[in-house]
Amino acid sequence: MAAVPSLVQLRRWIGSFARGSAGRRVVGIVGNDGAVFVRFARGRLANRIYVPAADAQGVQELHAFLHEDPKAPVSILLDVLEQHYREAQLPRLNPLDRRKILARKLRQTFEAGTITSHVRLARPALSNEGGGRGQETHMLVGLPDTEELRTWTDAVAGARNPVAGLSLLPMEAHRLVRAVMTTSAAQAVWEVLVLRHRASGYRQLVFYNGELVFTRLTPNQEADADVADEVDTIEGEFRSTMSYLRRLSFTDADRLELVVVVPEEVGEQLNARRMRIREVRTLSPAQFADALGLDGRQYAEDAFTDSLVADWFARQRWPELHLEPPPLRRARLISMAPKPIAAATAAALIAGLVYDGMLVLDLRHRTGALADARAENQRRTATLQDLDRKLAERDVRLPRFIATVRGRAALARTTPMYADQLRGLAQALPTGMIVTDLQFQVAAEANEPLVERAAATVGRNPTRPPRGELAVNEAGQGALTATVRLRQPPADRRAIMRRYRELTRRLTQRLPGYAVALREPPFETDESGQLAGSAGLTSTNGAGAPTDVTGTYVVTGPDQ
């Protein structure tokens, strides 16, 4: 049964598809011969610098370079000689126990003061130390915290740029090697990639099925070395690598693919050598960049691979292994601290601006309302003064005039007007029905006189000017009582009732602001549901059919 992949393996698999743009960032390749820092802007190489050493002058040059874009995050890709790798076998355990055992193995394997980590591999161990079914293979990683490393990390942290972290080139290169190998990933194959870095030297990376086995670093040649010397160095170091591979599980029957990234003149002579392996390819830095999906034209004149490896690493979504020496950890925390503070400040500022905007809108609304009120007050004051002047010319006192107008308005509000009820009754009355009697009544409680009702609405101070407009044309509420006779009524009493109910509906439709009620219908309904009685009937003929049918309606309103 296949083992369940670890989170690291899932990240590696997703990361193989998650390549993006270099964006805005700085990547530094740091080795024993100095460092190459490359700055990217808008996904392209913007500038680069080689710093021979992290001395006072080198730190000053580095800070000046980083301050060209002080907001660009800095990633360090370490390619030093002092980095150690060792395979370890663990039984299948739960995550908590596995973490404890790995921590103990790291303490036992590396000296105190070493920066350590580990990665789970998807292959069995190649060494002879234990192994077997039911075992997990882990690569233990140790990075000595040397004075040289601290000097470089302090130099980067001192620039005050955001710090993205530190990674190891051999641990990141498994994604790098698959881009240039011709053998299918499904086939068992040994892969050897040789890079030439100005900051470190000749880096050999040995993989088995895409998993790191070991790595070697050879210093660069002296300045006066020629092409033949470089070819001899590469060939000699590769033979040493093959000797070590044979002590593992490599045999002559195994498939091995070698890719060497060197300048074209070195590659031509290297191809002429017989290195006793079937698959040897040499690529120039520009060809290597094209194979990685980069713009090879930027590296056509390069003799080293520092810049293009930095370009490739800048486009990875996340590193395979993230190490964090204390200086970089402090720098990262310092660079990250303003982010939540800035976010909270921005949120508070936005909320404050929104609240201030609401206050401003409310203030503008209130100011406009106040201005309208002042204008209305001035208008009314001018009207009152003009009215007072006109009344004075006619020897009329203003208080008496106000009392008269208020009394007229109060009488209007208590005096009913029956024009609407009469108009609605006339429009609703169908052919064959006539009004035989009309009565009008004021809807006053206990038949209170209109003058007394009007005086009650004026109040105790009739000479005080009213706050609102005086509606002198309003009408009070009254009741209209109409007796309606049906001429030539049918013999069916139910048909008669349908005629009166239809009139009730039409009156209600014509007078929406009034209450319409059929107070005295022509017939009443007994307990059995039959129409009976003589209400509204004055006589019947011999056959029992009614001859004089009336109904009384009461229309009250309008609604107050």
Domain identity same for 493 and 530:
yes
Contact 399, 463 (CB under 8 A): yes
Query: 357, 375, 396: which is the final residue of a domain?
Result: 396
Q: Name the pLDDT band for 1 (thresholds 50, 70, 90).
A: very low
E-state strands within 382-512: 433-442, 478-486
Look at residues 276, 279, 190 and name the one whose alpha carbon lies nearest to residue 239.
276
Look at residues 169, 154, 144 and name the one whose alpha carbon lies nearest to residue 62.
154
Domain identity same for 225 and 284:
yes
Domain identity same for 255 and 379:
no
| Res 18 pLDDT > 70 | no
Which amino acid is located at 406 in the chain?
A: R
Domain identity same for 236 and 346:
no
Domain identity same for 365 and 424:
no
> Is 123 within the bounds of a domain?
no
Is the sign of the CA dihedral 231, 237, 239, 241 positive or negative? negative
> Is 1 within the bounds of a domain?
no
DSSP-assigned letter for residue 220: P
> Is 283 within the bounds of a domain?
yes
Residue with tokens 């905007």: 357
The more confidently predicted of residues 43 and 151 is 151
Task: Please report the pLDDT score of residue 528 as a whole number.
Answer: 47
Instruction: Give the rounded distance of the alpha carbon of 114 from its chain centre.
Output: 42
Partners of residue 90 on adjacent β-strands: 136
Tokens of 403: 């009392």
Distance CA 234, CA 226 (A): 13
| Res 14 pLDDT > 60 | no
Contact 173, 181 (CB under 8 A): no
Task: Please report the pLDDT score of residue 539 as a whole number.
Answer: 47
- The CA–CA distances, whole Å, from 89 to 3, 83, 121 equal 15, 20, 10
Q: In this predicted model, what pLDDT tens digit does every residue of 45-74 receive, in sequence order?
A: 999 999 999 899 999 999 999 999 998 999
Q: In this predicted model, what pLDDT tens digit does every residue of 320-352 receive, in sequence order?
A: 888 877 777 776 666 655 556 667 777 888 888
The mean per-residue pLDDT over the stretch 548-557 comes to 91
Domain identity same for 331 and 389:
no
Look at residues 508, 523, 505 and name the one whose alpha carbon lies nearest to residue 556.
508
> Is 119 within the bounds of a domain?
no
Which amino acid is located at 293 in the chain?
A: G
The tally of CA atoms less than 13 A away on the side-chain side of residue 545 is 10
Distance CA 292, CA 318 (A): 17
The DSSP code sequence of 21-81 is ---SEEEEEEETTEEEEEEEETTEEEEEEEES-SSHHHHHHHHHHHTTSTTS-EEEEE--S
Distance CA 509, CA 497 (A): 19
Query: 301, 336, 371: which is the final residue of a domain?
Result: 336
Distance CA 384, CA 424 (A): 41
The mean per-residue pLDDT over the stretch 260-286 comes to 83
Give the least confident one: 13-27, 329-343, 462-476.
462-476
> Is 288 within the bounds of a domain?
yes
Write out the H or E segment, with its range, that includes residue 408: helix 398-414
> Is 96 within the bounds of a domain?
no
> Is 116 within the bounds of a domain?
no
Pairing of the two strands 190-197 and 201-208: antiparallel
- The CA–CA distances, whole Å, from 510 to 207, 373, 425, 516, 521 equal 97, 40, 8, 10, 20
E-state strands within 406-548: 433-442, 478-486, 515-520, 524-525, 531-532
Total structural domains within the chain: 3
Task: Please report the pLDDT score of residue 180 as a whole number.
Answer: 80
Residue with tokens 């993230």: 322
Domain identity same for 72 and 203:
yes
Distance CA 543, CA 50 (A): 128
Domain identity same for 284 and 346:
no
Q: Name the pLDDT band for 356 (thresholds 50, 70, 90).
A: confident
Q: Give the pTM.
A: 0.56
Distance CA 482, CA 428 (A): 13
- The CA–CA distances, whole Å, from 249 to 93, 121, 124, 370 equal 27, 17, 11, 93
| Res 22 pLDDT > 50 | yes
Residue with tokens 């591999």: 121
User: Which backbone phi and psi does 429 adopt, to 5 degrees?
Assistant: -70, 120
Question: What 3-state DSSP class applies to 379?
Answer: helix
Tokens of 54: 């992290």
Contact 494, 531 (CB under 8 A): yes
Domain identity same for 350 and 474:
no
Q: Domain range spanning residue 369? A: 342-396
The tally of CA atoms less than 13 A away on the side-chain side of residue 365 is 6
Range 464-471, long-range pairs (CB < 8 A, 24+ positions): 464/402, 465/384, 465/402, 466/406, 470/405, 470/406, 470/409, 471/409, 471/412, 471/413
Q: In this predicted model, what pLDDT tens digit does every residue of 382-429 receive, in sequence order?
A: 988 888 788 788 877 777 777 777 777 777 666 777 888 899 999 999
Domain identity same for 414 and 273:
no
Query: 396, 421, 441: which is the final residue of a domain?
Result: 396
> Is 428 within the bounds of a domain?
yes
List of residues 6+ apart from 88 with CB closer than 8 A: 102, 105, 109, 118, 137, 138, 139, 140
The mean per-residue pLDDT over the stretch 347-361 comes to 87
Greatest Cα pair distance, the chain, in angstroms, is 147
List of residues 6+ apart from 36 with CB closer than 8 A: 28, 29, 48, 49, 50, 51, 197, 198, 199, 304, 306, 307, 310
Contact 490, 451 (CB under 8 A): no
Domain identity same for 442 and 317:
no
Domain identity same for 460 and 419:
yes
Exposed / middle / buried, residue 462 (Cβ in 10 Å: 0-12, 13-18, 19+) = middle
Distance CA 20, CA 514 (A): 77
The mean per-residue pLDDT over the stretch 198-214 comes to 89
Task: Please report the pLDDT score of residue 94 as a whole number.
Answer: 82
- What percent of the chain lies above the pLDDT cut of 90? 28
Instruction: Give the rounded distance of the alpha carbon of 185 from its chain centre.
Output: 39
